[in-house]
Structures are given as structure tokens and as C-alpha cells.
Structure 1
Amino acid sequence: MSWQSALACWYLRRQFRPETLKPRINVERARALTAKRAWAPRVPDGWQLRELYGVADQPLHGEWLERTGGMSVGGPVVLYCHGGGYYFCSPRTHRSIVFPLATRADAPVFSLDYRLAPEHRFPAALEDATAAYRQLLADGIAPESIVMAGDSAGGGLALATLLALRDAGTPLPAGCLLFSPWTDLAASGATISSNDGLDPMFSGAAIALAAKLYLGDTPADHPLASPVYADLRGLPPLFIMAGSTEVLLDDSRRIADNARAAGVECEFEVWKKMPHVWPLFAPFIPEANRALERAATFVRRVTSARQPAQPSSAMSIV
């Protein structure tokens, strides 16, 4: 564990975790604090940021980061779903993941600005993500060139999108990249309790509180809200990363187990003492940079027509 990641954990424990100990979630406060503290990296040289906002019926509502001059035909494309418990954060808050992922993978990324709870509860975010994916196909991007990706709630949303597309008979993307995904809104994982107090970002009790904002009257074990309860057969390769002290660690572990049991290729890495979605801290902590390098390698591999067949791998500790 680098001193930079130790400093990030110290900061989170002092500034973020106390908010998750409160008995109620103040949505407006969470949004205001996140917007105020969001650090946005500059657009990389040779790339351009194209913001698509203000058109209510536009399925691609969010931000494109792409090479200056547009996308190359046939290259990888990432559809990214940001985290934030389904009720806060935005493409802007997650540029510190999206920008370095794009440059490392040499892949344009569309960062989706899906509708947020509690104003727009389940399945609004899912409807937005599936519509965005179908728009990419309509724009002529081949499914085998696309990788779905997301972190935390956005990771759960990316998985749910795959399930909805599969069930509708829509061609699936080449793979799915997940950083600390939130896949169980029923908060039934063992690490909700066993890592409570170890996780520098969240208290275990905060998970069920946030779930209620998104679910409304939807059961917490609905498979398109909580993919840990879904049949994962037929999904494309998955690459999952999570921190060893996260209260949501079991949300990743059980997805990996279920995926392998269903015959889905799945790489699962547990990084020692990393906070929830630590790639957000790129470029400041070395572990974030290394995680993004590994994520970019996955994007390039699964979208390559020459990729070798990869066996389902056991959990690895990083």
C-alpha cells in the first residue's frame, strides 16, 4: 500500500465516511459536496471532449472523449456508467477514471449521464443505459468493438444493462469492466458486516439506505436492480476489481463466483487495502494508475479479433 493510497484512505475516513453514518441521506448535500470537490483533469493532448446535453430525447446524454478528428472505424469504444449510489455524481466527477482509461486503451469513451434517483427511480437508469448502447449500434459501432464499464452503482448498472440486452436478444458487447461494483441492493453480503469499520469510505448501514432511494417499491432482489440475483449465462467476459476492505467486496466476489458457475469468463482481482473505486484517485496514487493499465489491457484484448481464448480465472490478490 503506497503512502499516497494511505493518505487517500485517511482523507476518506475523516471527510466521507462520517456522512455515511447518518441515519438519513441528504441527497442535495451529497450532490453539492461532490460537485464542489470534484477534480477534473484537463482533456489529454490529441483528444477532444464533446458534451451532449440539453436534448431531452437524445439517448446519448453525457460526454464523449474521443481522438481529435473523430473515432477510427473498428477500434474499441467504451460505454461508461459512473457511480454515486444512483443518486449523485456525474460524468464530470468521473473524468479522472474516464480520461486515463481512454488514453491507455486508445479507445473513445462515452460517459453516460443517466437519470438519478430519487427523482427518477428504477428502472430509469437502466432504460437510459440500454438506450445509449442501442444508439451506439444504430450509429454503426459494432457490438464486438464495445466494452461496457462502470464503477460502484455504475458497475451494477453496466451488468444490469447486459442482462436486459441479452433478454431482449440485442447483440452483446465484447466485454464488461467493473470497478468495485454494487450488485446487491439487498445488502446481504457478508462483508457489509465483516468489513464495517475497515472500509474507509462507507459504513455498512449506508448501503441499504442508498438502495431505498433508487428502488422505491421495487424488491431489492430484482435481478435488473441487483444482478447478484440474476442468471448470468451468456454474458461476455467480465473483469472485476475490488478492494479487500470494502463493505461491498462480496458484491464483486459473488458475481465472479456466479459468472464462473454460469460458464462466463471472469477475471476477478482483490487489491489489498484499496478504498472503494480507487481508480478515481488517478493519477495521484500508483495503485489507481496500475488498475487503469490493467483495465485498458482488458479493453484492448476483448475487442481484438485476434484475442486468444481465455479460461475463467480464479480470484487473484494484488
Structure 2
Amino acid sequence: MLPINAQTALDGWISAATPVVQKMYGQTDSSWAEVRAGYVDGLDRLFPAPEGVSFTQVDLGGVCTMVITPENVIEGRTLFYIHGGGYVHGGVNAYRGLGGNYAKRLRARVYIPDYRQSPEYPFPVPIDDTFTAYRHLLETGIDPRSLAISGDSAGGAMVVTIMRKARDANISLPTAAVAISPWADLTHAGESASVRDGLDPLCSVEFLNRLARTFLDGELPTHPDASPIFADVRGLAPTLIQIGENEIMLSGATRLACHLGDNRVRTSLEIWPGMFHVWHLFAGLLPEADQALRNAVRFLEDALPVIKEE
């Protein structure tokens, strides 16, 4: 059972997502822009930014990107964070809380690209926008030895995809990666899609299948850029995968971890009993969220160099 304040926030998240579900099923005349804005505003209220961080925006190759800077920052330390939302309904302002907590704990500037989303901009546009932002961030002079990457849900899958694209383009990879609740298998063929359907309060297999069809727009769900469990992942940076035991995406995440390990990528997998999709948003409300975020930061800090603080 969740603490009362965490349960209240979870109920609020479900309520904020309801118009998205209605839009997916054609039950509202609201535009996608209106539905997204309502969802993002809802999450921004439920999971507000912590004190001690500031927000600005930069343009990275035409991709508007939110920059979060903590008061206590290790100069040069950078986290490239990719937000979730099924490639359809997320937004950077929904991540002021999680991004701000990440920034404070890692003592890093956090860059969150506001990539375009389907159905207006289906596969591969969200991925291409994110890679464009990553490439241009490196072109600003960021030292890749002090650069980490993380993301959740669709963004968790893109963590692997962006590293692959960097490798294939012969540009620098980050020093380490954390994939939170990654949507790594858009076929939903694993066991968790059947035995855990109904356990996760935020996702159902039927809804995820609709999201996948909307995003893919006719492309196969086995495309390696959409489902990294089918990709060539050799040579990627050390990666931590965190997944909740109650998640429909559990099988995909565990298969991704095995796939990375089989291809000689140093991989750590954490399965959190009783946890639901992207519980990290509940930092400050749920002990497991604080603990998981602390583990993510520790994993990244072990890989990042020690740099003189400002």
C-alpha cells in the first residue's frame, strides 16, 4: 500500500492521463496540442520542481531544449535526459520535478529535448529530433567524459537508440546510461504483458498497443530503432536498467538487459518489487522513488570523473 500522499499523486496522474486515453479512443474533440498541454500541466502540478534549481531554454539544432541547473553544480557535468510519454503525449514541463531532483542529486546540468511527437510527427521523427539535440549538445563543447544519458519509458528505450546512433555516426557516446522503465519491446510479446496486465495502474497492453500503432504509423514494431531488444547494441556505454515488478514492460526490460549483456555491454538490472511505471516521479513522496533515484545517481557518479566544483 502506498503512503497517502503518494496514492493521492498517483490518482492525480491517472486523472491527468484520462484525456489522453479519451483522445486515443476518439472520445474527445480536443486537439492533440490541447490534450498534451493538459497532461503536462497536470504532472507539473503533481510533481513540482524542487527548490534550488533554475530553468532556461536553449536551441539544439532546432530542437527546443529545457536546461535545469542546480545551485550546487559540478562544472562540466551534464545529463542528457529523454522524457517519456509513449512518443505521443509527454512534454518537458512534466519533468521539472524529476529533472530537478536528478540535477540536484547528480550536481549536473540537465538537458531535456522537447522532441516532436506523433501522430503529427510519427516514427522516426521523435527519435531523429532527440538525436539531433544530442549531437548539437556535443557540438557546444560538452566533454563526453562528463556526459551521462538517462530517460524513462519511451525515453528509456531512446537511451539505447541514441547511443547506437552516436556509435554508428562515429560521434562520442556518453560515459554511462540509466534507462528507467524502458519501453523496449513494442511487440509486447513477453510474459509480463499477460500476467501483469491490470497490475500497473498506469498502463494496459491494449492502450500500449494503440500508442505503438500511433507512433509507428505502419512501421514494424520490431524495427531496431523502435524496440532496442532487436538492435545491434555492441559497444554501448555501461547501462543501468530500473523497472518495476508490476510493470507490463518488465519482460521487455529484462530482455533488454540480457541483450546488452550478451553483447558485452556492462549492464546492471534493478527490479523493484511492487513498483509501477516510472515511480521515480514520486521522489519526495515515496521512499522507493528516492532510493531508485539515489541508485541511478550513484551508478552515473561511479562512471563520471571527479571535477572541481564551482
Q: Which runs of 5+ in 1 are unaligned?
A: 307-318
C-alpha distance in 2, partners of 1:133/1:42? 24
Question: Which residue matches 1:142?
Answer: 143
AA partner of residue 225 (structure 2): L
Question: Is residue 48 of structure 2 the alignment partner of residue 41 of structure 1?
Answer: yes
Question: Which residue matches 1:65?
Answer: 68
Alignment of 1:188-207 (within 5 A): 188-207=189-208
Q: Is the contact between residue 23 and residue 35 of structure 2 (CA under 8 Å) also seen in structure 1?
A: no
* 1:114-142 Cα deviation digits (max 9, x unpaired): 11111111111111111111112111111
Pair 1:145–1:25, CA change in 2 (3 A):
farther
Question: Which residue matches 2:263?
Answer: 262
- Runs of 4+ residues over 6 Å off in structure 1: 16-23
Alignment of 1:1-318 (within 5 A): 2-4=2-4, 7=7, 11=11, 15=15, 24-25=24-25, 28=32, 30-38=35-43, 39=45, 41-42=48-49, 44-45=51-52, 47-52=53-58, 58-67=61-70, 73=75, 75-304=76-305
Q: Is the contact between residue 183 and residue 252 of structure 2 (CA under 8 Å) also seen in structure 1?
A: yes
1:5 CA displacement: 8.2
RMSD, aligned α-carbons: 2.7
Q: Is the contact between residue 12 and residue 201 of structure 1 (CA under 8 Å) also seen in structure 2?
A: no
Pair 1:174–1:10, CA change in 2 (3 A):
closer
C-alpha distance in 2, partners of 1:252/1:101? 22
Pair 1:102–1:17, CA change in 2 (3 A):
closer
Q: Is the contact between residue 149 and residue 158 of structure 1 (CA under 8 Å) also seen in structure 2?
A: yes
C-alpha distance in 1, partners of 2:48/2:20? 27
The percentage of counterpart residues that share the same residue type is 31
1:19 CA displacement: 7.5
Of the structure 1 ranges 143-152 and 27-36, higher mean CA displacement relative to structure 2 is found in 27-36
AA partner of residue 205 (structure 2): G
Q: Is the contact between residue 6 and residue 286 of structure 2 (CA under 8 Å) also seen in structure 1?
A: no
C-alpha distance in 1, partners of 2:306/2:65? 29
1:76 CA displacement: 2.2
Q: Is the contact between residue 63 and residue 113 of structure 2 (CA under 8 Å) also seen in structure 1?
A: yes
TM-score by length of 2: 0.87
Partner-residue secondary structure (3-state), 1:154: helix
Of the structure 1 ranges 148-157 and 296-305, higher mean CA displacement relative to structure 2 is found in 296-305
* 1:243-287 Cα deviation digits (max 9, x unpaired): 101011112100101111111111110111111000111221111
C-alpha distance in 1, partners of 2:4/2:222? 37
